[in-house]
Amino acid sequence: MIGKLRPLVWLLLALPALLMLYQLASGETFAFKLLHPTGELALRLMVLALMVGPLIAIFGRNRFLLGWLALRRNIGVAAFIYGLLHLVFYVMDMAAIGPILDEFWLPGIWTGWLSFALMLAAATISADWAVKVLGPWWQRVQYAVYGAVLIGALHWYWLDNNAGPALVHLAPLLILWALRGVIKRNRRARKKAREKEHLA
Amino acid sequence: MTIHLRLAASLTIAGAALGVAQPALADGDVICSGGPRENWKPVNDLKKAAWLERWEIIETRIEGDCYEVYARNQQGQVLEAFFHPVTLEKLVVFRRGTEVYRKNGFTG
């Protein structure tokens, strides 16, 4: 089922990028204006990729969530591609290495680079063979995306001087992580109680 | 069922809390006290003010009750500057979110 859906999902994920590149090529827009939409999409897609894990932990496995899980790697790669476009448009806008280095250590800038580096780490091993070769290490490297999403949100906050938009984007994840924590704790407590009963 | 109910309740409360928190978080926005739009100077005058700073304009926008200019200065630094839309005074300037200029006494 997902196999048939995958090309359609790819098309859907690629559509905003194609539109942006078309607008750029036709002179309708310019690199600076595309910084915001690409960064926002990268963050949104990362959130979308990370949401499914806690959702399954909370609601259990169902067809919808399993389908979402099967597409998670595609969503993650798309997030990386929008992050890469974000960086490309940034370099296009700055147009020289001097000013890029000059502002590297500003809080709003190094956070963007760091978030991208973490995404890069996760994205470079996104191929099927890498999943097989790396075994348990694959999952460990993917945890970098947690850092990428949080630092990416910090990058947005420090650039904008406004926590609102970044926090709204993080909110679904923060809520789900909190709920997963609560549910896991409850389950553990119940299990312990049952074991105690058993022993008594 | 109860766990679902509890979950729904938690989500609702979290959502509501976020909704309440929203206006409090919006204080990063610059307030220029620009007054009614019909008294604002035309955007061309704003462009001239930025030109007088010897900046290369990237983009001009209206942000809340301010004129906002994204520009590059002579050192190639990208600046985000807020101008009063009537007096066209430069009120506050950020460089990638870091404040680099604030007009004396401006608290908006």
Check CB contact of B94 with chain A, cutoff 8 Å: yes
- CA-based nearest residue to A17, from A80, A100, A111: A80
Alpha-helix residue ranges (DSSP H) falling in chain B: 2-25, 43-52
Stretch A32-60: mean pLDDT: 96
Nearest by CB to B96, from A108, A168, A178: name it.
Answer: A108
Which amino acid appears at position A99 of this protein? P
Of all residues in chain A, what percent carry a pLDDT higher than 90? 84
Q: How far apart are CA A107 and CA A82, in angstroms?
A: 21
Asked if residue A186 lies in contact with residue A179, where contact means CB atoms within 8 angstroms, the answer is no
Check CB contact of A159 with chain B, cutoff 8 Å: yes
Across all residues in chain A, what is the average pLDDT?
94
Determine the topology of domain B25-102 in CATH. Answer: Nuclear Transport Factor 2; Chain: A, (3.10.450)
CA distance A124 to chain B (A): 29
CA distance B18 to chain A (A): 8
pTM listed for this prediction: 0.86
Q: Which residues contact B18 (CB under 8 A, 6 or more apart)?
A: A167, A168, A171
Where do the structural domains in chain B lie, given as residue ranges? 25-102
Nearest by CB to B96, from A32, A103, A182: name it.
Answer: A103
Q: How far apart are CA A179 and CA A167, in angstroms?
A: 17
Q: What pLDDT does B24 receive?
A: 43
Per-residue pLDDT tens over the stretch B26-60:
446 899 999 999 999 999 999 999 999 999 999 99
Q: Is the pLDDT of residue B18 over 60?
A: no
CA distance A147 to chain B (A): 21
Which residue on chain B is closest to A99 by alpha carbon? B76
Interface of B with A in 54-93 (CB under 8 A): 58-59, 70, 75-78
Q: Is the pLDDT of residue B25 over 60?
A: no
Facing residues of B80 across strands? Answer: B70, B94
Which residue on chain A is closest to B96 by alpha carbon? A159
Which residue on chain B is closest to A159 by alpha carbon? B97
Among A26-30, A111-115, B57-61, B103-107, the minimum mean pLDDT is found in B103-107
Of all residues in chain B, what percent carry a pLDDT higher than 90? 69
Asked if residue A122 lies in contact with residue A84, where contact means CB atoms within 8 angstroms, the answer is no
What is the extent of the structural domain holding A43? 2-199
Of all residues in chain A, what percent carry a pLDDT higher than 70? 100
Q: Is the pLDDT of residue A35 over 80?
A: yes
Q: How far apart are CA B61 and CA A200, in angstroms?
A: 72
User: What's the half-sphere exposure (Cβ side, CA atoms, 13 Å) at B77?
Assistant: 18
Check CB contact of A164 with chain B, cutoff 8 Å: yes
| Main-chain phi, psi angles of B74, to 5 degrees | -70, -20
Contact (CB<8Å) B28/A171? no
Q: How far apart are CA B78 and CA A106, in angstroms?
A: 12
Stretch A172-194: mean pLDDT: 93
Check CB contact of A161 with chain B, cutoff 8 Å: yes
Q: Which residues contact A146 (CB under 8 A, 6 or more apart)?
A: A50
Q: How far apart are CA B51 and CA B61, in angstroms?
A: 16
CA distance B59 to chain A (A): 9
Q: What pLDDT does A4 receive?
A: 84
- Provide the 3-class DSSP secondary structure of residue A162: coil
Asked if residue B106 lies in contact with residue B99, where contact means CB atoms within 8 angstroms, the answer is no
- pLDDT bucket at B1, cuts 50 / 70 / 90: very low
Q: What pLDDT does B26 receive?
A: 41
